């Protein structure tokens, strides 16, 4: 889903020469205005993107990005599609450039713009006690908000939604008929940083969480917003209690995710996927449509459509049962 982020403040443009200087790149490229940094999927011709893994090679022939941050080992791959900008550490360079465009992106730990909810501003809103709202919060018709819930700046909530007690929501777009149960935290920054001996370098998260129509988020879920892209929960998808969704994860339509499941960053699920309790999904994986993943499984590689897997590492369920008789 490609939805323009309406929330983060961005500089209009940065000269390419400035970016190259900060990244210590020597180049004779003609200077030009760069208006953003984006992933390969969404980048335009005036934006910088990045390439850090061969598993995303298929996106190179689709991207519109003219300049791509990459390293020496991937230079020969990238040069056939765009102009490669060679750096030692691709992801750290992406973080540095992102912070140039979005200098306030790391400063959202606490929203001090909060005020008490004024129920008269909204249509047929039922609400409890001790509710605080930030700036640019929109709430649709016929919604319910429970006690002690904080909706920070930059949240849009559709019609007929139920937001439970003791919930924190920020940087999120919520569709119609969505239910978010007690204790969930949605839209906080992801777990992104680069280890260093002296001081870890934090990674800006300028994406959103998008929860589509008719989804249900169980109690005590944590859903991180995206880094450059968005974290997405598809239509009619239900998440049980204590589920963790890391940054950039995409979950399709009509999925069922049971309790204590964890998703590492940038993995995607197709439609009609069912995941059993306490399963773990590693990062940057693609899980197909109609997949069934047994409880307690560890998924460490892509799974094609219509598969049933179980175990660690997760494998075809018939083989798992045969091996564990």
Answer for the pair 202, 193: CB distance below 8 angstroms, yes or no: yes
For strands 115-116 and 132-133, give the pairing.
Answer: antiparallel
Helix spans in the chain (H): 16-22, 75-78, 90-101, 317-323
The conformation of residue 197, written as its DSSP 8-state character, comes to S
Q: Which of 58, 244, 247, 284 is catalytic?
A: 247
- Which segments of 220-261 are extended strands (E)? 222-224, 231-233, 238-239, 244-245, 250-251, 256-257
**In Å, how far are 241, 268, 286, 302 from 58, measured between CA atoms?**
36, 16, 14, 15
Contacts 24+ apart (CB under 8 A), 83-90: 83/29, 84/51, 85/20, 85/23, 85/25, 85/27, 85/48, 86/25, 87/23, 87/25, 89/194, 90/50, 90/51, 90/52
**In Å, how far are 46, 134, 236 from 144, measured between CA atoms?**
43, 17, 19
Is 247 labeled as catalytic in the residue annotation?
yes
Residues annotated as catalytic are 247
């Amino acid at each position: 889903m490609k939805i323009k982020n309406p929330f983060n403040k961005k500089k209009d443009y940065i000269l390419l020469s400035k970016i190259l200087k900060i990244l210590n790149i020597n180049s004779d490229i003609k200077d030009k205005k760069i208006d953003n940094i984006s992933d390969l999927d969404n980048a335009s011709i005036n934006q910088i993107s990045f390439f850090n893994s061969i598993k995303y090679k298929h996106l190179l022939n689709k991207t519109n990005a003219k300049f791509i941050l990459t390293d020496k080992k991937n230079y020969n791959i990238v040069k056939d599609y765009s102009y490669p900008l060679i750096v030692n550490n691709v992801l750290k360079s992406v973080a540095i450039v992102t912070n140039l465009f979005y200098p306030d992106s790391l400063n959202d730990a606490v929203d001090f713009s909060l005020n008490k909810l004024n129920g008269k501003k909204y249509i047929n809103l039922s609400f409890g006690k001790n509710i605080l709202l930030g700036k640019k919060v929109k709430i649709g018709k016929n919604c319910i908000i429970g006690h002690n819930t904080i909706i920070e700046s930059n949240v849009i909530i559709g019609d007929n939604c139920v937001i439970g007690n003791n919930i924190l929501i920020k940087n999120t777009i919520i569709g119609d008929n969505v239910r978010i149960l007690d204790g969930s935290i949605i839209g906080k920054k992801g777990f992104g940083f680069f280890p260093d001996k002296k001081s870890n370098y934090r990674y800006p998260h300028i994406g959103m969480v998008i929860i589509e129509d008719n989804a249900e988020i169980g109690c005590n879920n944590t859903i991180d917003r995206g880094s450059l892209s968005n974290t997405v929960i598809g239509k009619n998808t239900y998440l049980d209690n204590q589920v963790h969704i890391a940054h950039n994860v995409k979950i399709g339509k009509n999925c069922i995710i049971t309790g204590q499941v964890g998703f590492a960053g940038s993995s995607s699920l197709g439609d009609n996927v069912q995941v059993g309790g306490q399963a773990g999904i590693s990062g940057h994986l693609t899980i197909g449509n109609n997949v069934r993943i047994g409880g307690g499984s560890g998924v460490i590689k892509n799974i094609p459509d219509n598969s049933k897997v179980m175990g660690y590492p997760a494998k075809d369920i018939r083989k798992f049962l045969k091996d564990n008789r």
